């Protein structure tokens, strides 16, 4: 792992768990020695990406992270366009709704509205969603470029639960079904007891740039709910695409 990769890994660790972390804990979790960890943190502090409390000496994410996020959002207002649609879908379904965006690192959760019900599904912000094990991932694969789809189908396909899709043939069938319907369904592939429906958010070229999903406890979902949520999530995905790019002429066949 190069210097940039090591620095990014520290930022990701600071973004998970406790809001402030000690040097020794960061070094242990990262697998770096203290000297290397301190050197990387000093560089990140210089650019405002990390801050250190003068009293406790603990480290936390810096305001520079928000600055970069605002700069990115100004150039491509994904969240600004999508969040109102996510809020509307969450209110309509009463279940957890999460939005994901694709990057080189995979499909990443960028906004989550959890259900107000006591028994609900939780999704971590910044979580990388496995393509083969989530409804969001399968919806994305159904409308992505062939080489991206082929790379996932080539494996590995790690098991997260006893219900995770573990072979390329079955995964290809789920992808084809999602492409025909315009949305995907996932049952306990990533977390036991969870059922999800998701639809791809398409770019101007008709290829997926992300996904929006409704996730609920399986015990609460009936067949009619799946169909209704599927129609709602597909409409929400189209709404986000149109807010970003205008009305799309049609879906590009990948």
Q: Decide if 214 contacts 121 (C-beta within 8 A).
A: no
pTM of the full structure? 0.80
Whether the pLDDT of residue 28 is over 50: the answer is: yes
Query: Percent of the chain, pLDDT > 90?
Result: 74
Average pLDDT over residues 104-120: 93
What pLDDT does 254 receive? Answer: 44
Whether the pLDDT of residue 17 is over 90: the answer is: no
Confidence of residue 248 (pLDDT cuts 50, 70, 90): low
> 48-81 pLDDT, tens per residue?
999 999 899 999 999 888 888 788 777 778 999 9
Question: Following DSSP, what letter does each residue of the chain receive, concatenated?
Answer: --HHHHHHHHHHHHTSSSSSB-HHHHHHHHT--HHHHHHHHHHHHHTTSEEE-TTT--EEE-HHHHHHHHHHHHHS-HHHHHHHHHHHHHHHH-SEEEEEEEETTEEEEEEEE--SSSS-----TTPEEPTTTSHHHHHHHHTS-HHHHHHHHTS----SSTTS--SHHHHHHHHHHHHHHSSEEEESSSSTTEEEEEEEEE-TTSSEEEEEEEEEEGGG--HHHHHHHHHHHHHHHHHHHHHHH-S-S-----
Whether the pLDDT of residue 189 is over 80: the answer is: yes
Whether the pLDDT of residue 253 is over 50: the answer is: no
> 137-170 pLDDT, tens per residue?
999 999 999 999 999 999 899 999 999 999 999 9
Domains of the chain listed by start with CATH number:
3-67 (1.10.10.10), 76-245 (3.30.450.40)
Confidence of residue 250 (pLDDT cuts 50, 70, 90): low
> 33-51 pLDDT, tens per residue?
999 999 999 999 998 999 9
State the Cα–Cα distance between residues 115 and 142, nearest whole angstrom.
Answer: 27
What pLDDT does 236 receive? Answer: 97
């Amino acid at each position: 792992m190069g210097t940039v990769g090591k620095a990014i890994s520290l930022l990701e660790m600071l973004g998970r768990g406790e809001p402030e972390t000690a040097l020794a804990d960061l070094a242990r979790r990262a697998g770096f020695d203290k000297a290397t960890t301190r050197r990387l943190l000093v560089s990140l502090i210089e650019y405002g990406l990390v801050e250190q409390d003068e009293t406790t000496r603990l480290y936390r994410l810096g305001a520079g992270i928000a600055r970069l996020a605002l700069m990115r959002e100004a150039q491509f207002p994904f969240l600004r366009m999508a969040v109102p649609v996510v809020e509307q879908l969450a209110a309509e379904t009463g279940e957890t709704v999460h939005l994901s965006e694709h990057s080189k690192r995979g499909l990443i959760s960028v906004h989550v509205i959890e259900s107000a019900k006591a028994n609900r599904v939780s999704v971590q912000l910044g979580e990388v969603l496995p393509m083969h094990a989530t409804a969001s991932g399968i919806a994305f694969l159904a409308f992505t470029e062939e080489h991206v789809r082929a790379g996932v189908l080539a494996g590995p396909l790690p098991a997260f639960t006893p219900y995770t899709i573990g072979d390329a043939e079955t995964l290809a069938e789920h992808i084809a079904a999602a492409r025909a319907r315009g949305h995907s369904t996932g049952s306990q592939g990533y977390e036991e007891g969870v059922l999800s429906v998701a639809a791809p958010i398409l770019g101007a070229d008709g290829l997926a740039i992300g996904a929006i999903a409704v996730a609920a406890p399986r015990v609460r979902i009936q067949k009619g709910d799946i169909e209704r949520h599927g129609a709602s999530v597909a409409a929400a995905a189209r709404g986000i695409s149109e807010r970003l790019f205008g009305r799309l002429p049609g879906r590009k066949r990948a």
